[in-house]
Amino acid sequence: MNTGYSFTEARVILEIGFLEQCIANQLVENLDIDRSYMSGIIAKLSKDG
């Protein structure tokens, strides 16, 4: 789906939408993603707005 985001990045966006309060630790646990990788994804998404 030509969104410019990888599957994992899109999954993070969806998870953020599903959670009432979202913190990075929840995303790391829910998606079983390395913390440093999650940090990079969040930085990219923040930059993209």
Q: What is the pLDDT of residues 38-47, one digit of tens each?
A: 999 999 999 9
Write down the pTM of the prediction.
0.78
Give pLDDT tens digits for 2-40: 778 999 999 999 998 888 888 888 899 989 999 999 999
> What pLDDT score was predicted for residue 1?
62
CB 11 within 8 A of CB 33: no
Within 10 A of 47 (CB to CB), how many other CB atoms are there? Answer: 7
